[in-house]
């Protein structure tokens, strides 16, 4: 298994492709100590610092934090995100130059402040709480495009899914899809009831009853 993504490593094969050499040549360079910072993990994979692919990582950091509402508990969670990210950056000697906050869910595309950061080519390094902060389904695509510009997004932690938040996001997905494919607007409460019945594997087939009513 490769080192954690957040340690900023890439595969040796990616290095070989980037520099137009064979895997054997890259392997020989590693054995000769010509790839400073490269390591071998417990499974024997050779892992190369990602700087070899995309250049030095900027240590001037923009923090991007989100909350799903203006409620006090959500606002407190956002501030905790920011504190955690500041500590993460300080431990690595990175300087936080900007903090951007936005009210949004992990599936909406209506996030002007995030879009502004992505469009700003002077913003080289964005730190977020986890991949879902950027987009539940799009993080890897976005980060790959940024890395092609010698920019990047660093999540500080793996995604720890909150069940209620996950259900809320999927309700929004179904709600938006129903708006696009039909003329009848299905209430979000009905969609949530349907999802809840599926999760419970309801013996009375509430999900089926719900579908018949839609």
Q: What is the DSSP string of the chain?
A: -PPPGGG-EEEHHHHHHHHT--HHHHHHHHHTT-STT-EE-TTS-EEEETHHHH-SPP-EEEEEEEESSSSHHHHHHHHHHHHHHHHHHHHTTPEEEEEEEEE--SS-S--HHHHHHHH-TT--EEEESSHHHH-TTTHHHHHHHHHTTT-EEEESS-----HHHHHHHHHHHHHHHHHHH-SS---HHHHHHHHHHHHHT-TT-HHHHHHHH-
Strand 39-40, strand 46-49: pairing: antiparallel
If pLDDT is split at 50, 70 and 90, which confidence band does 138 have?
confident
Mean pLDDT of the chain: 79
Whole-number pLDDT of residue 207: 46
28 and 86 inside one domain: no
Q: Highest-confidence range of 93-102, 162-171, 197-206, by mean pLDDT? A: 93-102
For residue 51, list its beta bridge partners: none
Could you tell me the two tokens for 31?
A: 């054995």
Summarised one tens digit per residue, pLDDT across range 25-74 is: 999 999 999 988 889 888 888 988 877 776 677 889 999 998 877 887 78
Residue 47: which CATH number? 1.10.10
Give the pLDDT band (50/70/90) at residue 169: low
pLDDT recorded at residue 102: 93
Give pLDDT, residue 84. 94
Same domain, 147 and 65: yes
d(CA 123, CA 155): 16
Single pTM value for the model: 0.62
Phi/psi at 148 (nearest 5 deg)? -65, -20
Q: Quick one: tokens of 29? A: 């360079």
Distance CA 83, CA 49 (A): 27
How does 166-200 read in b/e, with b if 16+ C-beta sit within 10 Å? eebbebbebbeebeeeeeeebeeebbbbbbebeee
Residues 132 and 80 in one domain: yes
Percent of the chain clearing pLDDT 70 (strictly above): 71
Q: How confident is the model at residue 1 (pLDDT cuts 50, 70, 90)?
A: very low
In sequence order, which residues have a C-beta less than 8 Å from that of residue 22 and are 6 or more positions away? 16
Residues 46 and 73 in one domain: no
Count of residues for the chain?
A: 214
For position 144, which CATH number holds?
3.40.50.1390
Most confident of the following: 44-58, 152-166, 181-195: 44-58
Which range, 20-24, 50-54, 184-188, is most confident? Answer: 20-24
Torsion on CA atoms 91, 93, 98, 101, rounded to nearest 10: -20
Domain extent, residue 207, equals: 163-213
Per-residue pLDDT tens digits for 93-108: 889 999 999 987 666 6
Confidence of residue 122 (pLDDT cuts 50, 70, 90): very high
168 and 138, same structural domain?
Answer: no
For residues 151 and 207, membership in a common domain is answered with: no
Q: How many domains does the chain have?
A: 3
- What is the C-alpha to C-alpha distance for residues 190 and 177, in angstroms, rounded to an integer? 14
């Amino acid at each position: 298994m490769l080192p954690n993504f957040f340690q900023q490593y890439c595969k040796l094969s990616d290095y070989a492709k980037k520099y137009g050499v064979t895997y054997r040549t890259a392997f020989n360079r590693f054995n000769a100590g010509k790839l400073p910072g490269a390591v071998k993990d417990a499974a024997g994979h050779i892992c190369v610092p990602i700087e070899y692919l995309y250049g030095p990582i900027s240590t001037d950091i923009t923090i991007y934090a989100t909350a799903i509402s203006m409620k006090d508990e959500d606002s407190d969670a956002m501030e905790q995100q920011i504190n955690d990210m500041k500590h993460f950056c300080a431990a690595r000697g990175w300087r936080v130059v900007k903090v951007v906050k936005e009210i949004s869910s992990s599936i909406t595309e209506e996030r002007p402040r995030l879009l502004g950061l992505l469009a700003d080519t002077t913003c080289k390094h964005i730190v977020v709480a986890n991949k879902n902060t950027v987009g539940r389904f799009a993080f890897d695509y976005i980060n790959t495009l940024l890395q092609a510009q010698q920019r990047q997004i660093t999540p500080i932690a793996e995604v720890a899914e909150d069940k209620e938040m996950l259900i809320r996001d999927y309700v929004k997905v179904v709600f938006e899809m129903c708006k696009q494919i039909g003329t009848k607007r299905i209430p979000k409460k009905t969609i949530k009831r349907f999802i809840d019945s599926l999760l419970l594997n309801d013996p009375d087939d509430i999900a089926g009853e719900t579908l018949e009513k839609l």
